[in-house]
Structure 1
Amino acid sequence: MRIPPLFIALLAFSVFAGMSLWRSRDLQLDRQPPPQDRVVITAPVLLALYGGDRFLAANLETMRLAATGMQYGQTDTGYLVRAQQVVAQLNACHEDNYYMANGLLSWGGAVSEGNQVLRAAVRCRSWDFVPAFFYGVNLAFFQRDIPEAQRMLEIGAQRSAENAAGLRKLAVVLQAKTFADEQLALNYLSQQRDGAHDPKLREMLDMRVVRLQGLISLREAQRSFESKSGPLVRLEQLVESGLLSSIPEDPLRLGYELRDGQIILKKIKIAGMEELP
């Protein structure tokens, strides 16, 4: 019996579609972490490969790492650290690079490494207030270096007449509150997410927003707990006391920790890079 070609084509398509659906489901269930040994080409080699055009090399590398820095819903932070620092060496003025470094590294657990890219952008982009603003907020929120944060905000104010008043007001608030206002930090990070044009970047920044929301919930519960029961010793006490149903889940899978009496975001540890200035 002769089988019609259309039937064969439909059968083949059905098999292909079924295998594709099964494979995608299998990948979703596995959620394997991205590889940690990916190669990043050094700046001198990239410069040679692109005919000495450092701007072209920086542009193409930024596009590549934006497309490959996240797999299975997880960010390959070690890879991004190395790749974005290479881009900063090629062109410290690159706007997309410093924007991603702040959102994906500084607010993704690699604070010092992300701030290193921001410092280079502050020096290079003498007309742009945004890198100084990002860096100043990070200095205040993560490192509690208020004098240096205020200096960065003043640099930003001098570069933008339109935003000068707001930046100087924030510097005053930092002095008064030492940026303990987590809601201010959440608003800042949410603005970065909402301003991202790339859907993939917006998705990655949203994970940082959720992570910070978890920190805010924990700190609110800590304040309530300590007003009645004294100093918090373990995060689990917040659940045991009934203030929280569970410890908030960190979408970056780093979590939270209690250090010196304060709940903070856990930082990622990258061999040989933990103590970068």
Structure 2
Amino acid sequence: MRPALLLALAGFALFATLAAWRAQQPVVLTPQFVADRVVIPAPLLVALHGGDRFLAADLETMRLAATGMDDRGVDTGYLVRAQREVARLNACHEDNYYLANGLLTWGGAVEQGNEVLRAAVECRFWDEFPPFFYGINLSFFQRDNEEAARVLEIGAQRSTQNAAAMLKLAVMLRAEQFADERLALNYLIQQRDSSTDPKLKDMLDKRVIRLQGLIGLREAQRRFEPAHGPLASLEQLVEAGIIEALPTDPLRLGYELRDGHIELKKLKIAGLEEQP
């Protein structure tokens, strides 16, 4: 008898033995409340797709793109966990890093979206866009202009058409002479306008409106402080008659005053804030 057949028979016998033993064990049903949507871990996805991690990443990205957002908005907690698993399967996946940047980083889950981008920067060594996206995020959200300039220089090295523009941004960041929110707005508008998916375009449009609200508040702060001193609360801008009302954030996160600067509020995701 051939060795392969013997191995198959032995495997079947082991399976039958385990199945028979499991059938004799008592079943304990414990009622549980499922608080969130299930995300399949990367190792199990690989097993379910016959060991092909690239196929698993492709199919999982299509699934989360179709189910992670609907007419009510984006299921951010689900996308954070799902896109992390896709990045573990294939950090080079283009759709995954694009969605993570547009829907997570600019939707309030800054660290989680940037985590996917960092993996894409390392994996996609030929691609200029992950360093560009990540560099802008570092400057705008984390005010780390030195690291942002370094990452943009990486993008310039990879680019065939935009190298000069990225190097110019890097120089301006190091010189601290560039209005990052204006650049960020132009970049986000470009992302929105280049999208061919109507649902994604609508989601990105909400982020454009959110950023326009921030720019308006910062401009109002610049007008307020020479006459009234340091801004203590956003409501003072309305009370002083500089703006009629605080802008409405379509993502319902809002804006806040932190260390004298008006910022976008970040999304707090239970169970993920403490993770590295």
Give the TM-score range, shorter chain: 0.7 to 0.9
Number of the residue aligned with 2:220? 221
* Structure 2 residue 263 is matched with structure 1 residue 264: yes
Asked if structure 2 preserves the Cα contact closer than 8 Å seen for 1:225 and 1:232, the reply is yes
**Superposed counterparts of 1:180-219, under 5 Å:** 180-219=179-218
Asked if structure 2 preserves the Cα contact closer than 8 Å seen for 1:112 and 1:275, the reply is no
The 3 A distance-change label for structure 1 pair 266 and 179 is: farther
The 3 A distance-change label for structure 1 pair 275 and 161 is: farther
Number of the residue aligned with 1:250? 249
Asked if structure 1 preserves the Cα contact closer than 8 Å seen for 2:139 and 2:180, the reply is no
- 1:273 deviates by 2.2
Q: Which runs of 5+ in 1 are unaligned?
A: 1-34
- Amino acid of the residue matched to residue 207 of structure 2? R
SS in 2 for 1:268: coil
- Amino acid of the residue matched to residue 141 of structure 2? F
Asked if structure 2 preserves the Cα contact closer than 8 Å seen for 1:215 and 1:263, the reply is yes
Deviations 1:153-174 (A, max 9, x none): 1110111132110000011111
Aligned partners of 1:92 and 1:181: how far apart in 2?
28
Q: Which runs of 5+ in 2 are unaligned?
A: 1-33
- 1:64 deviates by 1.0
Number of the residue aligned with 1:135? 134
- Amino acid of the residue matched to residue 67 of structure 1? A
The 3 A distance-change label for structure 1 pair 169 and 36 is: farther
- Amino acid of the residue matched to residue 126 of structure 1? F
Aligned partners of 2:143 and 2:232: how far apart in 1?
22
Number of the residue aligned with 2:4? none
- Amino acid of the residue matched to residue 261 of structure 2? Q
Higher alpha-carbon deviation: 111-120 or 68-77: 68-77
TM-score where L is the length of structure 2: 0.85
Aligned partners of 2:274 and 2:210: how far apart in 1?
23
- Amino acid of the residue matched to residue 201 of structure 1? L
Asked if structure 2 preserves the Cα contact closer than 8 Å seen for 1:36 and 1:79, the reply is no
- Amino acid of the residue matched to residue 213 of structure 1? Q
Number of the residue aligned with 1:46? 45
Asked if structure 2 preserves the Cα contact closer than 8 Å seen for 1:141 and 1:179, the reply is no
- 1:185 deviates by 1.0
**Superposed counterparts of 1:59-98, under 5 Å:** 59-98=58-97
CA RMSD of aligned residues (A): 1.5
SS in 1 for 2:36: coil
Asked if structure 1 preserves the Cα contact closer than 8 Å seen for 2:91 and 2:120, the reply is yes
Aligned partners of 1:253 and 1:205: how far apart in 2?
14
- Amino acid of the residue matched to residue 157 of structure 1? A
Aligned partners of 1:178 and 1:233: how far apart in 2?
26
TM-score where L is the length of structure 1: 0.84
Aligned partners of 1:54 and 1:202: how far apart in 2?
29
Aligned partners of 2:62 and 2:242: how far apart in 1?
44
SS in 2 for 1:271: coil
The 3 A distance-change label for structure 1 pair 132 and 276 is: farther
Deviations 1:15-45 (A, max 9, x none): xxxxxxxxxxxxxxxxxxxx96111111111
Aligned partners of 2:115 and 2:138: how far apart in 1?
12
- 1:54 deviates by 1.0
Number of the residue aligned with 1:174? 173
Number of the residue aligned with 2:230? 231
- 1:178 deviates by 6.2
The 3 A distance-change label for structure 1 pair 132 and 181 is: closer
- 1:193 deviates by 0.9
Number of the residue aligned with 2:57? 58
Q: Where in structure 1 do 4 or more consecutive aligned residues deviate above 4 Å?
A: none
